[in-house]
Amino acid sequence: MPELLAVSALGLMLSLFLGLLRVLRGPVAGDRLLAMQLIGSTGVGLLLLLSLLLDQTALIDVALVLALLAAVAAAAFTGQELETRDD
Amino acid sequence: MIEVMASLLTVSGVGFYLAGSIGLLRLPDLYSRLHALTKADNLGLGLLIAGLALHTQDLLIALKLVLIWLAVLAASAASAHLIAQHARRRETQS
Amino acid sequence: MTAMLVLDILLVLSLLSLATAALATNDARRSVILFMAFGLVLALAWGRLLAPDVALAEAAIGAGLSGALLLTAVRDQAHRALRSSRKPVHERGRANLRVTLEWTVTLLCIALAGLLAWALAQAFDRAPKDTLAQAVSANLAISGVSNPVTAVLLNFRAYDTLLELAVLLTAALGIFALGPARPGHRAAGPVFDGLARWLVPALILTAGYLLWVGAHAPGGAFQAGATLAAAAVVLRLAGRRSVGLPTGHTLHVAMVAGVSMFLAVGLGLLVLGRPFLGYPPAWAGGLILLIETAAMLAIAATLVLAFFGGRPTPAPGVAEKTS
Amino acid sequence: MVPGILARTAILALLWWIITQGEVGAWLIGLPAVVLAAMASVSFGGAALSRVSLLGLPGFVALFLRESVRGELDVARRTLAPTLRIQPGFKNHRLQLNDPSARIFLTNCISLLPGTLAARLDGDHVEIHLLDASADPEPDLRRLEQAIARLFDLSLETNDA
């Protein structure tokens, strides 16, 4: 059912676009970052869908890397506060 | 039959993603919005991956997809907590 | 497939609005987060364009690692701004100079972009269509690998990659010139520790996988090096001063590993009477893997040095176990 | 310690096998990668991973999935209603689990389950943000803690003082 997969992919892209509105709107950095996390995992879902839809198994690996690195950004964002309090 | 199941799972997964994004836009404060994040990852990606695993009908690929789901789950639970803790700390400091 | 068309339009719209917003803001941290989101959507766009190699590099470096690097840099800049605001400065002269400088740089950038666009247009006009791609696929069998991108990077145009590694080495030397590394991070909370506990081994495994898979599918030393560096960044954020990055001579060896392995293989082949970096087809696969492994280590070391922001120094007083 | 290292190495080897889709040639890189990853893992010290009891696993997974679906439907109803029907607020919960890594695991589960979010973990207290603070989350949390205790083969601290 490639049609249905394509529509699903469009649904995810729409969801990602809505998430982007929150990244643009903020208001604080935490809001932007959490929206980043959401579009990150939406991106993982979209890549997996596309891998099936476009017949590109390599996109699964892209999704894997994206999934693993998503947390690094949040860690860097909150980790910095720990050091700022230091000095 | 399996095709129908797979499609149903995929579409409902996308539905939960959309619900999460709408929540992200509608909910009034940072903490409430964090709920939207972990929910989309948990059920949205979970159902989507269940659907895709049924679609591929390849055990090894299915296992890899489940690994990706677990990674996203653990990462989003930790980042949601980190962001909430970060905001909470600032609130109580000022 | 109208659904895919709408999807493509949404992708392009997202990229344009994120790029505009990232450039239009004055707040450096907001700009960085928008840039990270841009990198993420860009990775998706590369995936959609059937270029998973580029998507992988963008996901590892654009969306992940450079975000961590830039967020740290922003914090550092904020500190410095606080410190320097206490000293009196000749405000007006500075401001005038800054405006002039900004305009000069902007005009230069526009001129450069125009020049590049013109050169590209010329190239597209003159180049015969598709002959390069055909040449690559015709010679893929003797390249030692079955992934055309790796075949080009490590065999057909190995000189380019050698010089890229030399550029990275220069960057690492530049980082050394910044002085001693930043002191590091305070130990993070238990939840982050729990995350690092599984994330670091997972990143190491993934780096190994990307290194290996590069021979016949998207992947390779650059993506693997970035993933390995991410593991070190997580360790650093978890409060470990030394993150497996060696110090002293061992670090120097790691930094030059990529370039020196390349040169050793090239010179060895010269001695054997072959052209520089002209691998015999039978050995090509093994030699490429050898070079890629060394390149991965060098790339990871350079990226970690960038995150350190200077020359790593041995821990003062208490000797810490390296992991 | 030694069984712990072996268990971790075995799990990492399994992960490698899945990631590489079972390809044999990959072990050339896989062996050093698994050893390196195991060393990194060991450097974090003992983990509850080696204590996971297979008997507790199905119960935990079933509870987690059931609660996810139930909670998600509830949250979706609240957030998609024409007027938002939420009443966000914080509540404190005292943990009965003693083991540090089991506590982290519980904290993550609380965040993942719809309607609750663990905002701060402080000793044996966890501060929970609720989308609907008028409801009492205690019974659900107790059940979750029990399932995790069985998963890691731990006993709960029973004194409620």
pLDDT confidence of residue A44: 93
Radius of gyration of chain B (CA): 16
> Positive or negative, the Cα torsion across C103, C80, A80, B20?
negative
Closest Cα in chain D, distance from residue B21 (Å):
10
Return phi, psi of residue D119, to 5°: -90, -30
In this predicted structure, the answer to whether residue C315 has a pLDDT above a threshold of 60 is: no
Segment B8-35, tens digit of pLDDT = 898 989 998 998 888 888 888 888 888 8
Q: Would the CB atoms of B85 and C194 count as touching at under 8 Å? A: no
The position carrying tokens 């690492």 is C172
> For position D131, what pLDDT does the model report?
80
Q: What is the pLDDT of residue A47?
A: 93
- Domain of residue D18 covers 2-46
Contact B75, A70 (CB under 8 A): yes
Which of D20, D28, D121 minimises the CB distance to C190?
D121
Contact of D149 with D102, CB cutoff 8 Å = yes
Q: What's the distance, CA C241 to chain centroid?
A: 22
Q: Is residue D31 situated within a structural domain?
A: yes
Q: What is the pLDDT of residues C239-255, one digit of tens each?
A: 777 667 777 778 888 88
Which of C31, C40, C222 is best to mutate for the A interface (most A CBs within 10 A)? C40
CB-CB neighbors (< 8 A) of C198 in chain B: 74
Q: What is the mean pLDDT of residues C131-139?
A: 78
How confident is the prediction for chain C on average, in pLDDT?
Answer: 82
Kindly state whether residue D106 falls inside one of the protein's structural domains.
Answer: yes
Q: What is the mean pLDDT of residues B46-75?
A: 89
Question: How much is the pLDDT for D50?
Answer: 59
Residue C90 confidence (pLDDT): 56
Q: Which one of B22, B32, B33, B39 would you mutate to disrupt binding with D, by most D Cβ within 10 Å of its Cβ?
A: B39
Specify if D159 maps to a domain: no
Inter-chain touch B82–C194, beta carbons under 8 Å: no
Residue D124 counted as domain residue = yes
* Average of per-residue pLDDT across C61-87: 72
Which pLDDT value is given to residue C93?
A: 66
B70 to chain A, any CB pair closer than 8 A? The answer is no
B60 interaction partners in chain D (CB closer than 8 Å): 18, 21-22
The answer to whether residue A7 neighbours chain C at the CB level (below 8 Å) is yes
Find all residues with CB under 8 Å of B73, minimum gap 6, and list them.
B41, B42, B45, D112
Chain B contact present for A15, CB below 8 A: yes
**Cα separation of C109 and B83, whole Å?**
37
Q: What are phi and psi of C169, to 5 degrees?
A: -65, -40
Q: How confident is the model at residue C110 (pLDDT cuts 50, 70, 90)?
A: very high
Mean pLDDT of chain D: 80
Q: Which residue has the higher pLDDT, C166 or C141?
A: C166
What's the pLDDT score for residue C310? 78
Cross-chain residue pair A62–C237, CB shorter than 8 Å = no
The stretches of C178-279 forming alpha helices (DSSP H) are 190-213, 221-237, 248-271
Query: At C93, which amino acid appears?
Result: G
Q: What ipTM is given for this predicted complex? A: 0.89
CB C61 within 8 A of CB A47: no
Using a CB-CB cut-off of 8 Å, the residues of chain D touching B34 are 117, 129
For D120, the closest of B26, B39, B85 (CB atoms) is B85
Q: What are phi and psi of B41, to 5 degrees?
A: -65, -45
Q: Of A41, A54, A56, A83, which to mutate for an interface test with B (greatest number of B Cβ within 10 Å)?
A: A41
Confidence check: pLDDT of D1 > 60: no
By Cβ distance, the residue of C184, C227, C237 closest to A65 is C227
Q: How many Å apart are CA A71 and CA A82, to the nearest integer?
A: 17
Q: Are residues D74 and D146 in the same domain?
A: yes
Q: Are residues D147 and D113 in the same domain?
A: yes
Q: Which uninterrupted H or E stretch holds B58?
A: none
Does the structure show a pLDDT above 70 at D18? Answer: yes
Is D103 part of any domain? Answer: yes
CA-nearest residue to D21 within chain B is B60
* Whether residue D113 sits in one domain with residue D71: yes
Report the candidate in C322, C301, B21, B90 with the shortest Cα–Cα distance to residue A42.
Answer: B21
Smallest CA–CA distance from C214 into chain D, residue: D26
**How many separate domains does chain B show?**
1
Same domain, D119 and D92: yes
- A6–chain C Cβ distance below 8 A for any pair: yes
β-strand D89-94 against D125-130: which pairing, if any? antiparallel
pLDDT in tens, D76-135: 888 788 877 778 888 888 887 777 778 888 888 888 887 788 888 877 888 888 887 777
| Domain count of the fold of chain D | 2
Task: Say if residue D54's pLDDT is above 80.
Answer: no
d(CA C70, CA C33): 9
Of C45, D33, C192, whose CA–CA distance to A72 is shortest?
A: C192
Q: Does residue C89 have a pLDDT over 60?
A: no
